[in-house]
Amino acid sequence: MRVSELPRPSPERLLRQAQAEENKQWGARLKIFLGYAPGVGKSYRMLDEARRRRERGEDVVVAALQSQQSGDLQALVQKLELVPPLQTPKGQTIDVEAVLRRSPQVCVIDPLAAQNPTGSRNSHRWQDVQELLRNGISVLTSVNLLHVEEYKEKVQAITGKDTTDTIPKSFLLAADDIVIVDVPTDLCLWRLGEKLTPAGISNFQERQLSELRELALLLTAEVVDAQLESYVHAHGIEPVFGAHERFLVCLTPHSNAPAMIESGERNKERFQGELYAVYVCEPGRSKRERATIRRYFGAAKKAGAATEVLESDDPISAIVEYARQKRITQIFIGHSAQNTWRDRFFGDPVLRLIRAAEGIDVRVFPH
């Protein structure tokens, strides 16, 4: 596929790219360590990386630390230089001024989600991080799923925990690097002082934690997918298929679109994939047919599908071309309840699509 044929990038991606490029101008990189709960060992992984970087000759400082630290963590921290936080009557903040003066290559900030006391330079710590990045300082930082604004409610529903310290998800998506720190749930609970249970899900607490684990893994996969998309666009290479399931529902007035949309929605949820729906505009459609299509479009949107009307004399090629652009893995098409002169002339459109959709699965639905 030539670059000119690639779909137009989404505004979010352009924004991400702009942010990433702004940071890159100065060579600064943001790396986030994501955990599904406290006790997974994010801080350890991060500070250990800071230690290794320092040993390899990078200039590393620590600007914020968690208040409670295990013995292992303390041992790591002792090997690193600390820029002490700014103490105000209302609480602590990162001393951004001091870090900028010190001007290290890399700054460690643990954790990322924190509200600064009123009257601070920035209201949130993540804004401090942006300032450091803009000034060419790379940042290593950590965050728990609970503190990602868009996940707060879900985590709350599972654990009952609440927080006011959150970061927007877009901040995660704009990171140069994200790493998930995954650990078995029993070990996570053990580190938090619970007694040890057999491996696997063996009690209610682990059942809850495992759900957070799943969410954190999928969030990381989403970030990786966005990075992959940017990489593919930046390098103008053929998109890689396979890791992420994408379903495309082809809407026509005489197929069983409601069943296809419903199945598409279920597949999207099960596979944590994406759903698209298209209609190829053909001349000579009756008013009634057009109304039906509008209704189907509404249903597809409600099911969470990205919808598009394609214009082409050759519906089959239009669908296949669209599917390639969107990296579709499965096309849903319905048998038609009505044959047109065109179908009698060119042959069954379903079979023609199956033959044309090389490399993409085709699922045919009853009418």
Partner 1 sequence: MPATDDARRGNLKVYLGYAAGVGKTFQMLADGHAAAQRGDDVVVAYFEPHARPDTIGRAQGLETVPHGKIEYRGKTFEEMDTEAVLQRRPSIALVDELAHTNIPGSARTKRWEDVQVLLDAGIEVWTTMNVQHIESLNDQIWQITGIQVRETVPDGIVRQAAEIVAVDVTPDALLNRLKRGVVYKPEMVEKALTGFFKGSNLGALRELTLRQAAHEVDLRQSAYDETRAFQVPRISEARPSGATDIQPKERILIHITADPSTAMLIRRGRRVADYLHADCTALFVHGTPQLSQLPAEERQAVEKHLRFARSLQIETRILGGSDIAKTVVEFARHNQVTQIFVAQSRTRLRERLRGRNISEHIVRLAQDLQVTVVADRSRRQAS
Residues that bind partner 1 (CB under 8 A): 31, 154, 157-158, 177-187, 190, 196, 198-201, 207, 210-211, 213-215, 217-218, 220-221, 224-225, 227-228, 231-232, 235, 237, 240-244, 263, 266-267, 269-272, 330, 335, 348, 350-351, 354, 357-367
Alpha-carbon gap, residue 120 to 116, rounded angstroms: 6
Output 31 or 102, the one with its CB closest to partner 1.
31
Output 92 or 203, the one with its CB closest to partner 1.
203
344 within 8 A of 336, measured Cβ to Cβ: no
> Which residues have CB under 8 Å from 360's CB, separation 6+?
320, 323, 324, 328, 329, 330, 331
CB of 357 to partner 1, least distance (A): 7
Output 128 or 265, the one with its CB closest to partner 1.
265
Token readout for 257 is 């679109």
CB of 262 to partner 1, least distance (A): 9
CB of 169 to partner 1, least distance (A): 16
Return the closest-CA partner of residue 331 out of 348, 298, 355. Answer: 355
Radius of gyration of the chain (CA): 26
Output 42 or 124, the one with its CB closest to partner 1.
42
Output 254 or 335, the one with its CB closest to partner 1.
335
Alpha-carbon gap, residue 138 to 113, rounded angstroms: 17
CB of 113 to partner 1, least distance (A): 20
Output 3 or 237, the one with its CB closest to partner 1.
237
CB of 101 to partner 1, least distance (A): 29
Number of residues written out for the chain: 367
Alpha-carbon gap, residue 336 to 114, rounded angstroms: 57
144 within 8 A of 112, measured Cβ to Cβ: no
CB of 343 to partner 1, least distance (A): 13
- Tell me the CA distances in angstroms from 121 to 61, 97, 115, 117, 147, one per residue in order: 20, 10, 11, 9, 21
Burial of 332 (0-12, 13-18, 19+ CB in 10 A): buried
CB of 265 to partner 1, least distance (A): 8
Output 115 or 336, the one with its CB closest to partner 1.
336
Give yes or no for a cis peptide into 111 (omega within 30° of 0).
yes
Output 215 or 318, the one with its CB closest to partner 1.
215
> Which residues have CB under 8 Å from 217's CB, separation 6+?
180, 182
Output 97 or 150, the one with its CB closest to partner 1.
150
CB of 97 to partner 1, least distance (A): 30
**Beta-strand runs (E) in the chain:** 30-35, 60-64, 81-82, 86-88, 91-93, 106-109, 138-144, 177-181, 246-250, 274-281, 306-311, 330-334, 361-365
CB of 267 to partner 1, least distance (A): 8
- Tell me the CA distances in angstroms from 36 to 6, 42, 165, 188, 317, one per residue in order: 35, 10, 16, 10, 44
| Residue corresponding to tokens 């669908």 | 319
Output 96 or 174, the one with its CB closest to partner 1.
174
Alpha-carbon gap, residue 247 to 272, rounded angstroms: 11
CB of 296 to partner 1, least distance (A): 18
